[in-house]
Amino acid sequence: MLSVRVARPFARIAGLSLALLAALAVLTGCVRARADLTVSGDYKVSGTMIAATVATSPDDHGPQLSIPSDLGEQVVVQPYAADGYVGTQLSFASMDFDQFTTLVGGSSAASSNYQLLLRRVGDLVYFTGSIDLRTVPADHSDVELKITFPAGVSSTTGEVEDQTVTWQPKPGSITSLSATSDLSTLATAAWMRWSVLIGALLVGTVLVVSVLALRAHRRSLRVRRR
């Protein structure tokens, strides 16, 4: 199980549960907000999220994050520092969709600036939401969201490469997030792989039996010739 690790100097808590968007709703400076999510074939989600701003002083640690207490053992919270940005990196693994919703929801009044939801309907996985960057200056934003599915993407508002959808929300606007993946294809693919494996084993068995039979026949012929 993952455990929570928070550095002692991090005393200021922004009050947001989601690292990707913690800075966006309350800050107008240079913002870096990134998330990389992965959905597994057993309908779990794992990922890493970063919320950071450009440091304004040596004592500036950027946006700090709190997480719901009942998710503490599944989330790792670490300080983030790169390219002059400072803030928080949050990582989690194998959360069910309801837990992800709890993590995203938080208890901040600023949560109206974003919405993220993962849900399952039969074999379909839906990712929906929105990000409001109307208060973020156009030249002060480094925002990116990625989500990778275990099967193909049937529809989305983002850019698709293989099974990964990417959004790069633009400052000054609201970005709509939507992606759908049909995981029923995983069962079909697994059945096909199993069929190929069984077929290969059968062919191999036939070949081995044939070779053994041929050798036995040749030995029998040599014995008769003697």
User: Which of 57, 56, 62, 59 has its CA nearest to residue 81?
Assistant: 62
Q: Please, what is the Cα angle at 146 between 160 and 174, to 5 degrees?
A: 90
Whole-structure pTM value: 0.71
| pLDDT attached to residue 191 | 37
| pLDDT attached to residue 3 | 32
| pLDDT attached to residue 102 | 85
Alpha carbon of 100 to those of 104, 106, 117, 152, 195: distances in Å? 6, 11, 8, 22, 36
Could you give the CA distance from residue 23 to residue 159 in angstroms, rounded to a whole number? 24
pLDDT by residue for the chain (226 residues), tens only, comes to 333 333 333 323 333 335 455 555 444 568 888 999 999 999 999 999 898 988 889 899 988 877 878 887 889 999 999 999 999 999 999 999 999 988 887 534 345 577 889 999 999 999 999 988 888 877 778 899 999 999 999 999 999 999 999 999 988 899 999 999 999 988 543 333 433 444 445 555 555 555 565 666 566 666 666 6
Q: Which residue type is seen at 198?
A: I
| pLDDT attached to residue 193 | 45
* DSSP per residue, 124-160: EEEEEEEEE-TTS-TTSEEEEEEEE-SS-EEEESSEE
